[in-house]
């Protein structure tokens, strides 16, 4: 990938990259729901294809698009075989198709360009706040008091804090401090997953600062260091869970949080299963059709009944409570990118998200130089993506945020790898060059050898310093 020179002036593409996520508050209801971001992505994709400017130059990018295309093809075959209703298959195909389009557009416009990735991030922040203020959905307005924060403001404001923590002026202990503060705020407001992600990112940033002193930039970690990282991460997660358990049961987080935690932890496997009971419906559905899947927005009420019966047998409170509309609609409960794709599309949907999960996890198994200014926001994005793949449903918000997260992670890994390659090349040249005044001659035309020639100056790698 060629080194791109930095400039301070915004161009038309920079503005487009900001506006795409910013217009997510514009919603158009056809068969499903499209937003302004979807429409702008489609327009950009058509322009890039018609002008032959769509560029996916890296093997990782090509493989990701190939696997996403196979996921879409598998969903089409499944819906045809299962005779899915037109409204359901239209939503299913468009959900995957728009993901494919967004990945291709963002990879072309923003891969290897940290400034554009930062602009897209601020577009997500502004667009998320405008969505909450102008066109909120029923989850933001019709639920418990804390749902407005959990489903509306938690993600955009948290992302904004981590983008600020990624500026060159914010160094030393400040990124970790900001991550801890916003994590506690999310916990206090009832957004447990967002708070846990922030605290996990804070722990990772702390470990990264220590490992920077002991390992070369982006080098693979030794087995002992990996074990230490894994152990510290597990201890940190256990500490976060214990702290939340204490705060919830003591009523520090309010009566709603206390009642919710007591209900979710009342069964045999505690909050691990009580917080995500959809697993008890997803796994039987996958077992019944592991290769083909059940189709887009699959409707089979038997899996809802099996989930409730299993929760009741395991001793969870309120397990037998089922709303009549749940049975009438009959949607198979799915609360995971990975399992939802497997239930709806079959094994190829699971392969795609498994590929993404492995690539995202690899980001955490490397060390990065202190000059990697985007590391704070990347730490938030990678933990959020890993959590969502395992425990969140995939829909409109994911179509906007996932391609951005994936392109950001791959940009950091590849650009730091280029920095390491350039550094190693410089060191090798310095070692190979003879000392001044001791020019080696191997022939009559060797008087202008490499020792007397000036060394080429390496161009700076964009993104390892100030992302602005």
Tens of pLDDT, residues 59-108: 999 999 999 999 999 999 999 999 999 989 999 999 999 999 999 999 99
**Side-chain half-sphere CA neighbours of 398 within 13 A:** 22
Cβ contacts of 454 within 8 Å, gap of 6 or more:
none
Neighbours of 205 (CB within 10 A): 21
CA atoms of 77 and 64, how far apart (whole Å)? 20
Cβ contacts of 438 within 8 Å, gap of 6 or more:
451
With b for 16 or more beta-carbon neighbours within 10 A and e for fewer, the 449-462 pattern comes to eeeeeeeeeeeebb
CA atoms of 248 and 260, how far apart (whole Å)? 9
At 339 the pLDDT is 94
Q: Could you tell me the two tokens for 351?
A: 């392969």
Provide φ and ψ at 365, rounded to 5°.
-95, 25
3-state secondary structure of 194: helix
Look at the block and give the residue holding tokens 């409707």: 299
At 448 the pLDDT is 41
CA atoms of 311 and 164, how far apart (whole Å)? 43
What string of pLDDT tens digits covers the 468 residues of the chain? 444 445 567 789 999 999 999 999 988 877 677 889 999 999 999 999 999 999 888 899 999 999 999 999 999 999 999 999 998 999 999 999 999 999 999 999 999 898 999 999 999 999 999 999 998 877 777 666 667 888 889 999 999 999 999 988 888 788 999 999 999 898 888 788 898 899 889 988 887 777 766 554 444 556 666 666 666 666 766 676 677 777 777 777 677 777 777 777 777 777 778 778 888 889 999 999 999 999 998 888 899 888 888 888 888 887 777 777 778 888 888 889 999 999 999 999 999 999 999 999 888 877 676 567 788 999 999 999 999 999 888 988 899 999 999 999 998 887 666 554 444 455 555 555 555 554 444 444 444 444 444 433 333 334 444 444
Neighbours of 69 (CB within 10 A): 15
Q: Could you tell me the two tokens for 66?
A: 């190939």
At 463 the pLDDT is 40
* Residue 318 zone, left/alpha/beta (φ > 0; ψ -120 to 50; rest): left
Q: Are 162 and 60 in contact, with CB atoms under 8 Å apart?
A: no
CA atoms of 141 and 132, how far apart (whole Å)? 9
3-state secondary structure of 411: helix
- Percent of the chain at pLDDT > 70 equals 77
Residue from 346, 382, 381, 377 nearest 364 by CA: 382
CA-CA-CA-CA torsion sign (414, 15, 384, 205): positive
Q: Are 151 and 163 in contact, with CB atoms under 8 Å apart?
A: no
Residue from 351, 380, 372 nearest 414 by CA: 372
Q: Is 338 exposed, middle or buried (0-12, 13-18, 19+ CB in 10 A)?
A: buried
At 329 the pLDDT is 82
Q: Are 135 and 37 in contact, with CB atoms under 8 Å apart?
A: no
**Side-chain half-sphere CA neighbours of 282 within 13 A:** 24
With b for 16 or more beta-carbon neighbours within 10 A and e for fewer, the 116-144 pattern comes to bbbbbbbbbbbbbbbbbeeeeeeebeeee
| Parallel/antiparallel/unpaired status of strands 33-35 and 27-29 | antiparallel
Q: Are 1 and 60 in contact, with CB atoms under 8 Å apart?
A: no
Provide φ and ψ at 332, rounded to 5°.
-65, 120
Residue from 243, 231, 123, 225 nearest 180 by CA: 243
Q: Are 211 and 367 in contact, with CB atoms under 8 Å apart?
A: yes
Q: Which helix (H) or strand (E) holds 398?
A: helix 396-432
Distances (CA, A) of 185 to 260, 324, 382: 18, 36, 20
At 224 the pLDDT is 64
């Amino acid at each position: 990938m060629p080194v791109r020179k930095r400039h301070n002036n915004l161009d038309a593409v920079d503005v487009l990259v900001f506006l795409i996520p910013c217009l997510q508050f514009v919603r158009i209801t056809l068969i499903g729901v499209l937003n302004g971001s979807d429409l702008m992505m489609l327009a950009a994709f058509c322009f890039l294809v018609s002008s032959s400017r769509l560029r996916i130059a890296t093997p990782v990018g090509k493989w990701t698009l190939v696997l996403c295309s196979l996921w879409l093809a598998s969903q089409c075959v499944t819906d045809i075989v299962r005779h899915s209703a037109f409204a359901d298959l239209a939503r299913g195909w468009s959900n995957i198709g728009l993901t494919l389009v967004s990945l291709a557009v963002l990879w072309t416009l923003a891969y290897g360009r940290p400034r554009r990735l930062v602009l897209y991030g601020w577009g997500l922040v502004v667009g998320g706040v405008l969505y909450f203020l102008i066109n909120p959905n029923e989850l933001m307005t019709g639920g418990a008091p804390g749902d407005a924060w959990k489903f509306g403001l938690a993600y955009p404001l948290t992302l904004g804090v981590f983008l600020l923590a990624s500026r060159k002026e914010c160094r030393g202990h400040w990124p970790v401090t900001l991550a801890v503060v916003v994590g506690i705020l999310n916990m206090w407001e009832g957004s447990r997953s967002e708070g846990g992600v922030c605290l996990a990112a804070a722990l990772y940033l702390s470990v990264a600062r220590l490992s920077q002193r002991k390992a070369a930039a982006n080098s693979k970690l030794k087995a002992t260091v990996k074990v230490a990282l894994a152990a510290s991460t597990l201890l940190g997660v256990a500490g976060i869970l214990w702290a939340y358990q204490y705060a919830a049961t003591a009523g520090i987080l309010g009566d709603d949080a206390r009642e919710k935690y007591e209900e979710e932890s009342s069964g045999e496997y505690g909050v691990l299963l009580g917080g995500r009971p959809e697993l008890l419906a997803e796994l039987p559905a996958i077992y019944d059709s592991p290769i083909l899947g059940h189709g887009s927005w699959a409707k089979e009420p038997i899996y809802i009944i099996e989930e409730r019966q299993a929760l009741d047998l395991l001793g969870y409170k309120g397990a037998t409570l089922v709303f009549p509309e749940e049975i009438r609609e009959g949607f198979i409960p799915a609360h995971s990118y990975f399992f939802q794709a497997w239930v709806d599309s079959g094994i190829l949907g699971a392969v795609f998200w498994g590929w993404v999960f492995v690539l995202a996890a690899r980001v955490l198994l490397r060390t990065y130089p202190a000059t990697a200014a985007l590391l704070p926001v990347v730490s938030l994005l990678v933990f959020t993506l890993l959590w969502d793949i395992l425990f969140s449903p995939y829909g409109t918000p994911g179509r906007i945020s996932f391609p951005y997260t994936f392109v950001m992670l791959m940009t950091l890994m590849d650009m730091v790898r280029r920095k390491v390659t350039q550094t190693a090349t410089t060191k090798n040249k310095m070692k190979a060059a003879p000392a001044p005044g001791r020019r080696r001659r191997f022939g009559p035309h060797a008087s202008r050898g490499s020792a007397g020639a000036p060394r080429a100056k390496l161009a700076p790698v964009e993104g390892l310093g100030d992302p602005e």
